[in-house]
Structure 1
Amino acid sequence: MISLKEIVAIIRPNKINATKKALDVLGFPGMTACKVVGRGKQKGILGEVAFTVSPELQNQEGGMKYVPKRMLSLVVNDQDVSLVVAAIIKINRTGQIGDGRIFICPVEEVVRIRTGEKGEAAI
């Protein structure tokens, strides 16, 4: 039985395109990506976003209550986890607070809705 893992990465908005391109080159074109907001140690990234940050996301000190990020999710074979994680780190590490997080979770089963395929065949 093949072991599958879900890799969830929370990254800076300005790194999404480079991350998607690098993963595609490595043979991992399939993923889910969405805009998210969250909080952590980082106080804000107003200079890094190419959109207007709404007032409800800003705090009184000029920082941000919630920081816009991008969340990527992809499922890979267990043996590919190290490669994918290394690529995400290489593209996204700036050394500054706010570089993001990567979560690696076990996947019990995958089912392709259209065909009913399961496991690795459904990825």
Structure 2
Amino acid sequence: MKEVIAIIRPNKINATKEALAVLGFPGLNACKVVGRGKQKGITGEVTFAVSPELEKQEGGMKYVPKRMISLVVDDRDVPLVVAAIIKVNRTGRIGDGRIFVCPVEEVVRVRTGEKGPAAI
């Protein structure tokens, strides 16, 4: 099993969620995050008002608002999930995001005690 973690643009979260659901991956976790990549928070990355702690600084923004999604999938499903996330989120511009694939040693469903792939 693998955990796929993607940092994406806020305006792409719904399309990403829908694309994954269509492929049979409706379960995921999502949260608002802020950060910056190599571009160091390029000004103009976002088209909406930002809170004071994200205010512009010399050469860019302190942090850029993003969305982080996380889902655990079978090893064989990783290429499909990664490809779907890329297809929805690639604009060709700086700030499209990152995808991380991490090993998962064990999964346990709290309600039933199921383990492994059955618990996903």
**Same fold by TM (over 0.5)?**
yes
The residue type equivalent to 2:119 in the other structure is A
| Percent of aligned positions that are identical | 77
Root-mean-square deviation over aligned CA pairs: 1.3
Measure, in 2, the Cα distance between the counterparts of 1:87 and 1:122: 23
After the TM superposition, list the runs of 4 or more consecutive aligned residues in structure 1 that deviate by more than 6 angstroms. none
Moved more, 35-44 or 106-115: 35-44
> Could you tell me how far 1:63 is from its partner in structure 2?
3.4
Measure, in 2, the Cα distance between the counterparts of 1:27 and 1:60: 42
Number of residues of Structure 1 aligned to a counterpart in Structure 2:
117
Measure, in 1, the Cα distance between the counterparts of 2:57 and 2:36: 16
Unaligned runs of 5+ in 1: none
Q: What TM-score results when the alignment is normalised by the length of structure 1? A: 0.90
Matched, 1:78 2:60: no
Moved more, 36-45 or 23-32: 36-45
Measure, in 2, the Cα distance between the counterparts of 1:114 and 1:26: 25
Q: What TM-score results when the alignment is normalised by the length of structure 2? A: 0.92
2:93 maps to: 96
2:112 maps to: 115
Measure, in 1, the Cα distance between the counterparts of 2:23 and 2:33: 25
Matched, 1:46 2:43: no
